[in-house]
Amino acid sequence: MNASAHLAAGTVAAMASLHTSRTRTGRLILAATFGFLSHILLDAIPHSDYVFLPRQYFLAISVIEAIIIVAIMTPILRPRLMPGWRAPLIVGGLSAGLADIKVLALRVLPAEQGALVEQYGHRFHSLFHAAPPASPFTGLAIEVTFTLALLLLLTRFPRAASQPVSGYDARYSGTPG
């Protein structure tokens, strides 16, 4: 899958962890686990990755995608963020992309270590990575569809101001009567 789908999935994982666990440690463990598993699940779906681009553009396109998807997600997330959201959001996003570290390995590590990370990354991906669909257009359509579905899923998390506090509406500041 493309970077935007993985980042959106990691964000969904983080938001789910915020609503699932009451402890910081629990939230971080869930965000990391859900984020990493989301990568495996998304890559098991036939998609085109970046087959239509020369390899030297992967990193630049991924960064541009990440900036765009964060810009789209920000207004969706802002009213839904709960206290303690930062760390799970970072962990969810990073863990959702962790399996693709092989793409960066040769650029940021010394040649020998980078080649080793890339080799093991390809081996790991071969366990679950689906073959591309018949055409790059179909693969890209699948990626965009899943990214949009994940963005839509983010809108289903409750707004922070509308969550009940001790059984009462958070906007209600008086005594029940």
The pLDDT tens digits for 58-107 are 888 989 999 999 999 999 999 999 999 999 999 999 999 998 888 888 88
pLDDT given at position 69: 96
Sort strands 168-169 and 164-165 into parallel, antiparallel or unpaired.
antiparallel
CA-CA distance, 4 to 11, in Å (whole number)?
Answer: 10
pTM for this structure? Answer: 0.86
User: Is the pLDDT confidence value at 33 over 60?
Assistant: yes
Residue 54: other Cβ atoms inside 10 A: 7
List own/partner pairs for 27-34 with CB under 8 A and 24 or more apart.
27/84, 27/87, 27/88, 28/87, 28/88, 28/91, 30/88, 31/88, 31/89, 31/91, 31/92, 31/95, 32/91, 32/92, 32/95, 33/95, 34/92
Run of H or E residues at 164: strand 164-165
Q: Domain extents for the chain?
A: 3-161
